[in-house]
Amino acid sequence: MYRWEIVQAVTEQRVFGIVRAAAPEAALTAAEAVLDAGLRAVEVALTTPRALSAVARLTEQRPDALVGAGTVLDAAAARAAVEAGARFLVSPGLHPDVIRAGHRYGVPVFPGAATPTEMVRALEEGADAVKIFPASGMSPSWLRDVRAALPQVPAIPTGGVTVDDAPEWIAAGAVACGMGSALTSGGPDAAGERVAALLAGLARAR
């Protein structure tokens, strides 16, 4: 797939899961729970110990899933994630070397930004979409105001997005939301119920 096709696939459902765990086995279990519940894309944060082993196992066991790597802070981590099978890369901040490394291997990159200035710079550096982080410090109305001036920004609010307010972020113009513990906490059954409720809410928001 080309980069733009991966971006389209990752954002098609308007949400992707984020897994951050104390061990790769726990990350694998959490990722499988949200994928089993119907999500097509999931990010494994590199703050998880031996996270790349979880990425590699997921890409092998779930070839139809879009597995990404998050908290990618430098070019070395970006390359290692791609070699492990990551289909997209996400950063909490703007690291141009991560964008360049991802693009070198045909992988889209979603760097983090918290201000309009950072969003514009992210686009200038080649970002495929911009992670609005942390979303908990902002609001859908804030994003709506920003997009009135910067409608070209493909925004992905992440960090504090909930099942209840995700549809509001989409209605405000976000292309997708990244969601972690709001989906994965409580075990596979609870995660499945939340994913089902979320996808139904997002379908109504379109």
Read off φ and ψ for residue 140, nearest 5 degrees: -55, -35
Residue 107 tokens, joined: 């992988």
Read off φ and ψ for residue 131, nearest 5 degrees: -80, 115
Q: State the amino acid at position 145 in one-letter form.
A: D
112: Cβ contacts below 8 Å, ≥ 6 apart: 90, 91, 92, 93, 94, 130, 131, 132, 133, 158
5 is catalytic: no
Element (H, E) at 202: helix 188-205
Say if residues 153 and 185 touch (Cβ distance below 8 Å): no
The pairing of strands 112-113 and 130-132 is parallel
Where does the chain show beta strands of DSSP type E?
A: 15-19, 41-45, 66-70, 89-90, 109-110, 112-113, 130-132, 155-157, 177-179
The catalytic residue among 43, 60, 125, 193 is: 43
131 is catalytic: yes
The catalytic residue among 125, 131, 168, 193 is: 131
Query: Which are the catalytic amino acids?
Result: 43, 131
